[in-house]
């Protein structure tokens, strides 16, 4: 019942949008588009109604996310707030924090970014050095984050910071805080990526004064909290569908051209069957989250296998197109292939690298 109206709306709203633009999907930032989704009640679907949410299940959100990704909707403005910041605030925040942030997230008036990585602390998150020192007025923040997606367009960051000890204390002494990115002492510098897009950022904190209620959850409980947040970040359908617009464009080309080769059909079948299995896996992890579990290892597995497929799609499509060098290819297909080929190496980096996830899976299996 949810899928049909979402699909109808997207067909209309995205009509005429170039496929290489749609391929950017959940990293593409369009505040007005997000506001329209908010007006339709399609942000914060799983949040309680008293906070402006939809009171629906995680499976309803899965359907919605799947439709947005399938269509390549420019959903990046609210994506992180909707996927992880809002459920995180609901789970670990105070009622006052929930009342302050959640209704605005649902209306697409508060966009969030993720402040985990730092120079020298990407995979090794326990070594973060950005520090929030407790003062008589609240917290004083100093340090730097990096690779923060859309920091320059977001209102808030949920950051993992050190509130006691030092880098050698590892997981101990880490906490999570919500940072209002408009505060004095914050400097945000976008970084251009290989495609020419600039959604990644460096964020510098210099003597930033935060109020007492910037802390989310308990002090020194940041490691447990961030691990739970990462299960939301890693398990969703965006770890399967990052290349789906390219797959669609290729199928469209094969259909228009007619008479596809056996090899193309078999490659398309391989992509589709793998995608179907991964969708079941992602749904199963969603089921664990819906039951209130924290499926950290399962989410790592879903992400690792999902991003492997996402990276395989541009390779398969490029190889298949290369079989017929004299074919005249539609410009939109070539542009989409170019964009996805350039960006796909990042799929197995963002949200935790492949090697690190495999280490977690091995530990989960009792192999290390
Ligand atoms: C597109 C994109 C968006 C991102 N958005 C955000 C964001 O919004 N917020 C945020 O906080 N971060 C973000 N990141 C950062 C991302 O989470 C980190 O890049 C990632 O965690 C890796 O950290 P690093 O770059 O420091 O690499 P490093 O940790 O230095 O890793 C370098 C290499 O060493 C390997 N390696 C490291 N440790 C181990 C180990 N123990 N065992 C085996 N191999 C290992 C890694 O797999 C990798 O291949 C983003 C990254 C990308 C590419």
Stated pTM of the model: 0.96
User: What is residue 235's predicted lDDT score, i.e. its pLDDT?
Assistant: 75
> Residue written as tokens 């070539």?
334
The rounded distance, in Å, linking the Cα atoms of 42 and 66 is 13
Question: Ligand 1 center to residue 79 CA distance, Å?
Answer: 20
Q: Residue 352 in 3-state DSSP?
A: coil
User: What is residue 300's predicted lDDT score, i.e. its pLDDT?
Assistant: 92
The rounded distance, in Å, linking the Cα atoms of 151 and 273 is 36
User: What is residue 253's predicted lDDT score, i.e. its pLDDT?
Assistant: 97
**pLDDT tens digit string along 292-340?**
888 889 999 999 999 999 999 999 999 999 988 899 999 999 999 999 9
Residue 346 CA, closest ligand 1 atom number:
53
User: What is residue 167's predicted lDDT score, i.e. its pLDDT?
Assistant: 79
Residue 121 CA, closest ligand 1 atom number:
26
User: What is residue 88's predicted lDDT score, i.e. its pLDDT?
Assistant: 95
Q: Which one of 353, 354, 359 would you pick to mutate in the ligand 1 pocket, going by the greatest count of ligand atoms within 8 A of its CB?
A: 353
User: What is residue 234's predicted lDDT score, i.e. its pLDDT?
Assistant: 82
The rounded distance, in Å, linking the Cα atoms of 136 and 129 is 22
Residues with C-beta less than 6 Å from any ligand 1 atom: 113-117, 122-123, 147-149, 200, 346, 349-350, 352-353, 355-356, 359
The rounded distance, in Å, linking the Cα atoms of 296 and 49 is 28
User: What is residue 236's predicted lDDT score, i.e. its pLDDT?
Assistant: 84
User: What is residue 292's predicted lDDT score, i.e. its pLDDT?
Assistant: 86
> Residue written as tokens 């910071």?
161
The ranges of the chain with pLDDT < 50 are: none
């Amino acid at each position: 019942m949810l899928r049909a109206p979402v699909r109808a709306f997207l067909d209309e709203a995205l009509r005429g949008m170039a496929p290489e633009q749609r391929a950017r999907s959940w990293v593409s930032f369009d505040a007005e588009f997000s506001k329209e989704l908010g007006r339709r009640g399609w942000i914060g679907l799983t949040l309680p109604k008293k906070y402006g949410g939809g009171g629906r299940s995680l499976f309803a959100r899965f359907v919605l996310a799947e439709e947005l990704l399938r269509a390549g909707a420019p959903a990046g403005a609210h994506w992180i707030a909707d996927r992880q910041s809002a459920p995180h605030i609901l789970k670990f925040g105070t009622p006052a924090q929930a009342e302050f942030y959640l209704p605005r997230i649902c209306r697409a008036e508060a966009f969030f970014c993720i402040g985990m990585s730092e120079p020298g602390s990407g995979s090794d998150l326990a070594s973060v050095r950005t520090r929030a020192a407790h003062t008589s007025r609240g917290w004083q923040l100093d340090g730097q984050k990096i690779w923060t997606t859309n920091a320059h367009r977001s209102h808030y960051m949920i950051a993992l910071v050190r509130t006691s000890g030092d880098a050698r204390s590892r997981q101990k002494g880490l906490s999570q805080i919500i940072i209002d990115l408009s505060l004095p002492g914050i400097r945000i510098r976008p970084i251009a990526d290989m495609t020419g897009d600039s959604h990644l950022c460096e964020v510098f904190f210099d003597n930033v004064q935060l109020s007492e209620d910037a802390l989310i959850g308990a002090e020194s409980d940041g490691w447990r909290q961030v691990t739970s947040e990462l299960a939301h970040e890693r398990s969703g359908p965006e770890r399967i569908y990052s290349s789906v617009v390219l797959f669609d464009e290729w199928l469209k080309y094969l259909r228009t051209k007619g008479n596809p080769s056996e090899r193309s059909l078999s490659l398309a079948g391989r992509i589709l069957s793998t995608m179907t299995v991964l969708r079941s896996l992602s749904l199963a992890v969603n089921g664990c989250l819906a039951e209130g579990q924290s499926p950290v290892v399962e989410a790592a597995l879903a992400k690792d296998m999902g991003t492997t497929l996402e990276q395989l799609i541009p390779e398969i499509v490029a190889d298949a197109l290369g079989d017929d060098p004299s074919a005249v290819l539609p410009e939109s297909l070539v542009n989409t292939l170019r964009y996805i080929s350039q960006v796909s190496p990042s799929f197995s980096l963002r949200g935790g690298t492949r090697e690190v996830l495999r280490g977690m899976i091995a530990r989960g299996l009792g192999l290390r």
